[in-house]
């Protein structure tokens, strides 16, 4: 890439946005619903933000939807350096926090200094998962895996021989984050169990 | 897909979110910056929303960034039915508005009635391009094509034998929508011309 003539602020914003393009090449374990391929982290982030926009009304007390969308758009950006770490990668999970923090250090520093601080604060808010906005973002992120797996006929669960107990344990947290989303997660899991998409325990 | 037991409102929200997954399979003309493949409309929508988040400060008067993000997330959803219509598809452009309006009628009607109205209003706002929020969304959508093409070494312009005059005309509008983004578009085009990425007129 050659260097267009820009003021320092705009040049920094452009550099960040060009770097961000790489999230389109980070492959996740989850499939597209039609089963044609696995999804990548950029299109997943779009789907999660759309889920937040549709399901924000379930948050109690109400949340700042604009900030939830910002958290959803940014939540996986660190995977450009750190990759997607799947739940069953025990070794990877031990180093996940450190690898992702290093990625956040590098990526957000591409922005102009004041935006680097703001964007990092949003990512830290998502990671800490203490505000209502972060909890909703976490809940729809978790829900997205459940929705695409259920709608694709339990593809990932069947491929990985996932047991019902493991899937349910993973989704109990979701109800702690946003109680009103628990019945949806529960209904999808009940249906998956009835369909026989889980492995024997 | 089987049918989980859900209240009517949540079932409608789920149906919409499952249908939306298809945007990940709509291919656009623009490449990934690394040239590995073309981008799809879902990951493009994520990138455009991220651009809006970074560049919203250029809007004058200031805009409601949360609404801009909603417009960006929804702006291409109609392509699930209507496909991506490229600027040089003269025949396709003649029917684009009708095809996309029919798609909007079908897709947003999947949502619960009150959300169908709200989401359709956002999409109509984007299309009308009269509010500051819609203009910023349009400007970053236009800019995204410029950024990925510039950063990929002018890939699309070279493949399609695009002339400088055509590229510049297309990007003049961007400055009418958000004046402060015009210098960025201009600098990318100046650089592309200096690199010799455009065809002879």
Task: Compute how many other C-beta atoms are within 10 angstroms of the C-beta atom of residue B102.
Answer: 13
- pLDDT tens-digit map of B3-21: 788 999 999 999 999 999 9
B27 beta partners = B40
Q: Which residues of B touch A40 (CB under 8 A)?
A: 43
When CB atoms are compared, the residue of A22, A66, A183 closest to B69 is A66
Q: Which residues of A touch B183 (CB under 8 A)?
A: 6-7, 10
**Residue in the block written with tokens 């309006």:** B101
The alpha carbon of residue B111 is apart from the nearest alpha carbon of chain A, in Å, by: 9
Q: What is the rounded average pLDDT of the residues B143-163?
A: 93
ipTM value, please give it. Answer: 0.96
Quickly state the pLDDT bin for B151 (edges 50, 70, 90): very high
Please report, in tens digits, the pLDDT of each residue of chain A (201 residues total).
Answer: 467 889 999 999 999 999 999 999 999 999 999 999 999 999 999 999 999 999 999 999 999 999 999 999 999 999 999 998 888 888 999 999 999 999 999 999 999 999 999 999 999 999 999 999 999 999 999 999 999 999 999 998 998 899 999 999 988 999 999 999 999 999 999 999 999 999 988
Distance CA A191, CA B6 (A): 11
For residue B108, what is the nearest residue in chain A, using CA coordinates?
A54
Write the DSSP string, B116-168.
HHHHHHHHHHHHHT-SHHHHHHHHHHHHHHHHHHHHTTSHHHHHTT-BHHHHH
What are φ and ψ of residue A158, in 5° steps? -70, -45
Q: Does B180 touch chain A (CB under 8 A)?
A: no
CB within 8 A of B116, min separation 6: which ones? B108, B109, B110
Beta carbons of A24 and B39 less than 8 angstroms apart: yes
Half-sphere exposure of A54 (CA within 13 A, CB side): 30
Q: Which of B4, B38, B121 to mutate against chain A (most A CBs within 10 Å)?
A: B4
- pLDDT tens-digit map of B99-116: 999 999 999 999 999 999
Q: Which of A33, A46, A147, A185 to mutate against chain B (most B CBs within 10 Å)?
A: A46
For residue B38, what is the nearest residue in chain A, using CA coordinates?
A24
When CB atoms are compared, the residue of A25, A36, A151 closest to B1 is A151
Q: Which of residues 150-169 of A touch B (CB under 8 A)?
A: 150-151, 153
Q: Which of B1, B21, B116, B157 to mutate against chain A (most A CBs within 10 Å)?
A: B21
Q: Which of residues 34-63 of A touch B (CB under 8 A)?
A: 34, 36, 39-40, 42-43, 45-47, 49-51, 53-55
Beta carbons of B169 and B142 less than 8 angstroms apart: no
pLDDT score of B2? 61
Distances (CA, A) of B46 to A133, B114, B201: 19, 25, 34
Q: Which of residues 90-149 of A touch B (CB under 8 A)?
A: 111, 115, 147-148
When CB atoms are compared, the residue of B7, B54, B187 closest to A13 is B54
Q: Which of B10, B16, B20, B24 to mutate against chain A (most A CBs within 10 Å)?
A: B24
């Amino acid at each position: 890439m050659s260097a267009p003539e820009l003021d320092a602020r705009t040049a920094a914003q452009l550099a960040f946005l060009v770097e961000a393009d790489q999230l389109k090449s980070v492959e996740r374990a989850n499939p597209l619903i039609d089963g044609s391929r696995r999804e990548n982290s950029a299109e997943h982030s779009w789907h999660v933000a759309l889920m937040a926009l549709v399901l924000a009304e379930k948050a109690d007390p109400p949340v700042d939807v604009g900030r939830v969308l910002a958290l959803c758009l940014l939540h996986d950006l660190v995977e450009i350096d750190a990759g997607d770490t799947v739940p069953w990668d025990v070794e990877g999970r031990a180093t996940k926090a450190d690898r992702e923090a290093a990625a956040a250090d590098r990526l957000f520093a591409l922005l102009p200094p004041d935006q680097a601080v703001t964007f990092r604060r949003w990512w830290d808010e998502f990671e800490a998962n203490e505000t209502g906005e972060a909890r909703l973002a976490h809940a729809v992120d978790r829900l997205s895996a459940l929705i695409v797996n259920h709608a694709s006929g339990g593809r990932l669960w069947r491929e990985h021989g996932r047991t019902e107990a493991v899937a349910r344990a993973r989704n109990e947290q979701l109800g702690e984050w946003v109680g009103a989303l628990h019945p949806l997660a529960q209904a999808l899991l009940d249906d998956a169990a009835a369909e026989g998409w889980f492995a024997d325990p």
